[in-house]
Chain A
Amino acid sequence: MAKNKLTKEREDVVVRFAGDSGDGMQLIGTLFSDSTAYAGNDFATFPDYPSEIRAPQGTIAGVSGFQVHFGHSDIHTSGDKADVLIAMNPASLKANLIWTKSNGIIILDNDAFIDKGIEKAGYETNPLEDNSLTGYNIVNPPISKMTLEAVKDLDLPNKVALKSKNMFALGVVLYLFNRKLDSTNEFFETKFKSKPLIIEANKRVLKAGYLYAENVEAINLTYNVKPAPLKKGLYRNITGNLATAWGFIAAAERSGRKLFLGSYPITPASEILQELSKHKQFSVKAFQAEDEIAGVCSTIGASYAGSLAVTSTSGPGLSLKSEAIGLAIMTELPMVVVNVQRGGPSTGLPTKSEQSDLMQALYGRNGESPCIVMAAGSPTDCFFSAYESSKLAVEHMTPVILLTDGSIANGSEIFRIPKVASLDEINPPIVEANDKDFKPYKRDEKTLSRQWALPGTEGLRHRLGGLEKENITGDVSQNPENHQLMVKLREEKVQRVKNYIPEQDVVGADSGELLVVSWGGTYGVMLTAVEQLRKNGMDVSLAHFKYINPLPKNTNEVFSRYKNIVVCELNNGQFVHYLISKFPHYKYESFNKIQGLPFMVAELEEKFKTILEKNNK
């Protein structure tokens, strides 16, 4: 491959593709991920795009990005700063320079650095000429010109030809990491099956980029990242939203229930509705409702009728669903509410991520209305969380709120594909026809859950509703003692779920100086930071929570074994407040970031080091 050039081994690398939102950055990011998969690396990705579909061309507002982090060892995050930045125009350079390592490689389209583009990006002078990029390794081919040159005898209009310029950039990057062009070329063949000219153009431009990189002196070093020692199995790349949708489909198959999704499009949750709309072959009924309320109400109706019933949304939508979730709590019907969290309050930061709906999930309803709350830790964990939330909902006859977030919903990582038969059994408590002992609110002694009596079944006609119910009979009741009893029963039913979820585990030491506590979508970055510090001999351990209500039953005992506890979350301190209310006898430190951005490994390490140093003084 590389002639007379050096190849350097790297443990892990971060590549960030950035360009105008019409430049096809998400596409080349995905194609690069595919080639990474073929190279046998572990990897994770994260797209970063504006909430506008096509913001004005060439401006910072219109910059779209895609980051890939790949490595020889386990990769848990999409990475902090980029080793390699691809910036297709001045605005994408300006927006992404702060996310690039100070000695990183920057690949630019020199043709885009003209006065107009520079001005639109808000630069006063050309950054290629004013020494502001000193220290970076700049590779700036005239990408647009070379793209046109590569396809000139194909007689394509310039506008069409230039659409392939992203492939030039991809070609350069593929060379940089000693990759082959095969998987990308195969993609062109399938994608543009009926357009041979377009296939040819893309192939040529990709190759032109690759050859350019091979020939120029600017690139005097290529990088090699060895395959990761992954567990044997069949793998694929998957985003959190796709994994969530598939987790529900798997749960429907295993539970023998048909899947119903009642939902309304909302960023960043829409992909769940879109994906489930595709799978009618599994009898999935995805109902695009007229609003969030109809989404959850149709879900309750479908649950009553015996479906595995799910509604998906994001923060503002969860607000709208509150009253109906209360109805599901009162009627004790199973339902999963997925909340793909985004920055709030109100419309907030629709395309950015936050963990600020925890309190809403726990308490955002009228009356005493407990339900199970759990949070997925990573894109692949969304699959298992969707599956498990379905199991808990139907087996315990209660709504479950499953929290994911924009980062893990849109981010991807590699997924070791499980066999559906290997997943835990799901046993819905469905009542047999003509069961003489059936009473709508008679409860299982262990779980306290009532039974599921499906309309259409002989001998089980009964009415449910939002009015308080008499214990056992389910008749409407205003009796004071009965109300108190029912409130206690509903709470106890949810608390007993403790007996059916795993105990909280800890990464690191059984006891020690510092326990890092986190929850939900920050798992990857937390794990990476704690593992790295432990490698450096620091006494840090991690308790990352998936089950929020109820908390695992050993939570108190886990906390008791460490001298200091720091709770890290992407909000203003919601989980820490919850923990204070449950276990007020510990002193908690908190570390919060509320910028719509994920934690960086570096800032976490810095924080934990500071805490350790302070306490050692």
Chain B
Amino acid sequence: MEAQVLKDIPLLTKDDFKSDQMVKWCPGCGDHAILSSVEKVFPQLGIRKEDFAVISGIGCSSRFPYYMNTYGIHGIHGRAAAIASGVKIANPNLSVWVITGDGDSMAIGGNHFIHVVRRNIDLNILLFNNRIYGLTKGQYSPTSPKGIITKTSPDGTFENPFNPGELVIGAQGTFFARTIDNNPKMMVNVMLEAAKHKGTSVVEILQNCVIFNNNTHELVSSRETKDDNQILLEHGKPMIFGKNKDKGIICSGLKLEVVKIGENGITEEDIIVHDQYSEDPGLHAMLARMTPPYLPMAMGVIRAVKHETYNDALDELIEYKKETSPYKTVDDLLTSGNTWEV
């Protein structure tokens, strides 16, 4: 939803969006920080508080709508994207947010996920990826790393995990960003970008499940390792990262590679400059795929391209048909074609 700054909207604060319900996530769960970030983002969008709808599926993350004082639906497992599609198509004035988890959107709701992305319906999808089924108490999910031991993989999983970013780009997605639950500033910035984007925005939030999959994102989250294992992509800036800001990404043949600036004749000039608006999704896909420890995890907005949205295209057609159709009322339709008087 393009942030429309409307003058008659009273200044909103975080408190306008807090619901009266007790938040029941486990202490230490990454969801608390995400909730707090969303509460910070909504008042900044210039949208009336009545014009937000928060739609979820099933899972720990999907309790989210109950904790937001907006319109909302806590749906059924996997179907948040489909329910939200209906809400947005029916009323395009609403800013519709989908809250989903890796089980909800990558497994049972995988089909709806790729199709909503393909259609480019103007929704903001926050995908909480903790790589585990939390609400059902600890089974592996479609994003669990290969080999992980869980209740349903006592000998380690032997399934390949999905990378949500690759799915988004493969489904012709127009917006994909990644952030992490222990960096509120980054979360807020990325969510603001997602809100601004017209089309389906997918934000993967690396989220920690303190009970069933603690520290699953440790390499990119811990104070000691994160600088060398994540890179914050910023449009128009070279892809430089590391504790000492001396590492960079270059394209070597058809592969991405980490290099050290100042070594082997490498200068800042050799480092790729991030272009989030590039129509060609090739490099975006490679960036989304980068995995530590070989390559740093790409954070921030990876892809943001402008395409017509489903809801705009439909509304334009409706306006056009209203002007051109010979049927102005339903009576006109009923009496059209072959009729005869008795």
Q: Which residues of A contact B (CB under 8 A)?
A: 34, 37-38, 40, 230-237, 246, 249-250, 253, 258, 260, 262, 279-283, 285, 287, 289-291, 293-294, 297-307, 309, 323-324, 326-327, 331, 417-420, 454-467, 475-476
**Cβ contact within 8 Å between A463 and B73:** yes
Query: B127 CB to closest chain A CB, in angstroms?
Result: 18
Report the Cα distance A282→B84, complex, angstroms. Answer: 23
Report the Cα distance A302→B69, complex, angstroms. Answer: 20
Query: A551 CB to closest chain B CB, in angstroms?
Result: 30
Report the Cα distance A216→B341, complex, angstroms. Answer: 36
Residue of B nearest to A301 (CB): B86
Name the A residues within 8 Å of B71 (CB-CB).
304, 455-456, 461-463
Of A231, A294, A457, which one neighbours B115 at CB under 8 angstroms? A294
Name the A residues within 8 Å of B68 (CB-CB).
463
Residue of A nearest to B342 (CB): A230
Q: A233-B342, A253-B329 are in contact. Are A305 and B79 (CB under 8 A)?
A: no
Is B53 located at the chain interface by the 8 A CB criterion?
Answer: yes
Is B331 located at the chain interface by the 8 A CB criterion?
Answer: yes
Interface size on B, residues (CB 8 A): 59
Name the B residues within 8 Å of A456 (CB-CB).
50-51, 71, 91, 93-94
Q: A37-B338, A249-B333, A301-B84 are in contact. Are A281 and B325 (CB under 8 A)?
A: yes
Query: A253 CB to closest chain B CB, in angstroms?
Result: 5
Name the A residues within 8 Å of B334 (CB-CB).
236, 246, 250, 417-418, 420
Residue of B nearest to A243 (CB): B334
Is B136 located at the chain interface by the 8 A CB criterion?
Answer: no
Residue of A nearest to B58 (CB): A466
Q: A234-B341, A302-B89 are in contact. Are A281 and B53 (CB under 8 A)?
A: no
Complex A-B: 26 CB contacts under 8 Å = A37-B338, A40-B342, A230-B342, A237-B338, A253-B330, A262-B86, A285-B318, A290-B112, A293-B112, A294-B79, A294-B115, A297-B85, A298-B83, A301-B84, A301-B89, A309-B86, A420-B334, A455-B50, A455-B53, A455-B94, A456-B94, A461-B70, A462-B71, A464-B72, A465-B74, A466-B74
Name the A residues within 8 Å of B324 (CB-CB).
281
Name the B residues within 8 Å of A459 (CB-CB).
50
**Cβ contact within 8 Å between A285 and B314:** yes
- Of the listed residues A232, A234, A282, the one surrounded by the most CB atoms of chain B closer than 10 A to its CB is A282
Name the B residues within 8 Å of A461 (CB-CB).
49-50, 69-71
5 interchain residue pairs of minimum CB distance: A301-B86, A465-B74, A298-B86, A281-B325, A297-B82
Q: Which residues of B contact A (CB under 8 A)?
A: 19, 21, 48-51, 53-55, 58, 65-66, 68-76, 79, 82-91, 93-94, 111-112, 115, 314, 317-318, 320-322, 324-325, 327-331, 333-335, 337-342
Q: A246-B334, A304-B87 are in contact. Are A465 and B66 (CB under 8 A)?
A: yes
**Cβ contact within 8 Å between A34 and B73:** no
**Cβ contact within 8 Å between B76 and A289:** no
Report the Cα distance A281→B328, complex, angstroms. Answer: 7
**Cβ contact within 8 Å between B94 and A463:** no
Name the A residues within 8 Å of B91 (CB-CB).
305-306, 454-456
- Of the listed residues B327, B333, B334, the one surrounded by the most CB atoms of chain A closer than 10 A to its CB is B334
**Cβ contact within 8 Å between B86 and A37:** no
**Cβ contact within 8 Å between A260 and B90:** yes
Of A262, A420, A475, which one neighbours B330 at CB under 8 angstroms? A420
Report the Cα distance A262→B119, complex, angstroms. Answer: 14
Query: B312 CB to closest chain A CB, in angstroms?
Result: 13
Name the B residues within 8 Å of A283 (CB-CB).
318, 322
Of A34, A230, A232, A280, which one neighbours B318 at CB under 8 angstroms? A280
Report the Cα distance A458→B111, complex, angstroms. Answer: 35
Report the Cα distance A462→B322, complex, angstroms. Answer: 34
**Cβ contact within 8 Å between A294 and B112:** yes
Q: A301-B55, A455-B91, A461-B49 are in contact. Are A236 and B337 (CB under 8 A)?
A: yes
Report the Cα distance A492→B233, complex, angstroms. Answer: 58
**Cβ contact within 8 Å between B74 and A463:** yes
Report the Cα distance A232→B340, complex, angstroms. Answer: 11
Report the Cα distance A309→B90, complex, angstroms. Answer: 9
Name the A residues within 8 Å of B321 (CB-CB).
280-281
Report the Cα distance A299→B58, complex, angstroms. Answer: 18
**Cβ contact within 8 Å between A297 and B318:** no
**Cβ contact within 8 Å between A234 and B111:** no
**Cβ contact within 8 Å between A236 and B338:** yes
Of A235, A463, A475, which one neighbours B65 at CB under 8 angstroms? A463
